[in-house]
Amino acid sequence: MPELTSSTPQTTRQLGARLGALLQPGDLICLQGDLGAGKTTFVQGLAAGWGAQDEVSSPTFVLVNVYRGAAGGLLYHLDTYRIESLAEAEELDFDAMLTQGPLLIEWAERVRPALPAENLWISLTYRDENTRTLRFLASGARYQSLLEQLLA
């Protein structure tokens, strides 16, 4: 499993921006990590790299944020921390979101059974105040290609 270390929040954002520039509608990025692991920081960079025109914030209380792209596309950002059951997760209709744009899910492990099998899974681990470890798992040819481009 490929692994990168980020020593600053800016480096985490830059890595996210590199991935964001590669995203297409239908791409599913799953983020896993404890509170403070850097998930939202990574998404801020990812959204910037994708071309989001809107400010990125954690959707913990609203569940989903939708960011508009310069070319008119949509980027979906979910936080599933408050999802209580698989039935509740299935009501979110991930497939509909994926037809309209890329989908980023924080706390993805909470809804894993409801997700498409093919995705890019990123586990973030807090090491110290500034340092994070990011581990990547690509499931499917599209995501293997994304990962190879990201790590090149």
pLDDT tens-digit map of 81-107: 888 888 888 888 888 899 999 999 999
Confidence grade of residue 35 (pLDDT, cut at 50, 70, 90): confident
What are the structural domain ranges in the chain?
Answer: 3-151
Nearest to 103, CA basis, from 152, 143, 61: 143
pLDDT at residue 147 tops 70: yes
What is the C-alpha to C-alpha distance for residues 26 and 102, in angstroms, rounded to an integer?
A: 5
The answer to whether 37 touches 129, Cβ cutoff 8 Å, is: no
The answer to whether 17 touches 45, Cβ cutoff 8 Å, is: yes
Query: Looking at residue 60, what is its pLDDT?
Result: 62
Query: Looking at residue 59, what is its pLDDT?
Result: 64
What is the C-alpha to C-alpha distance for residues 115 and 87, in angstroms, rounded to an integer?
A: 12
Nearest to 122, CA basis, from 39, 6, 11: 39
The DSSP annotation for the chain comes to --EEEESSHHHHHHHHHHHHTT--TT-EEEEE--TTSSHHHHHHHHHHHHTB-SPP---TTTSEEEEEBTTS-EEEEEE-TT---HHHHHTT-HHHHHHHS-EEEETGGGSGGGS-S-EEEEEEEE-SSS-EEEEEEEESHHHHHHHHHHH-
CATH number corresponding to 3-151: 3.40.50.300
Query: Looking at residue 119, what is its pLDDT?
Result: 97
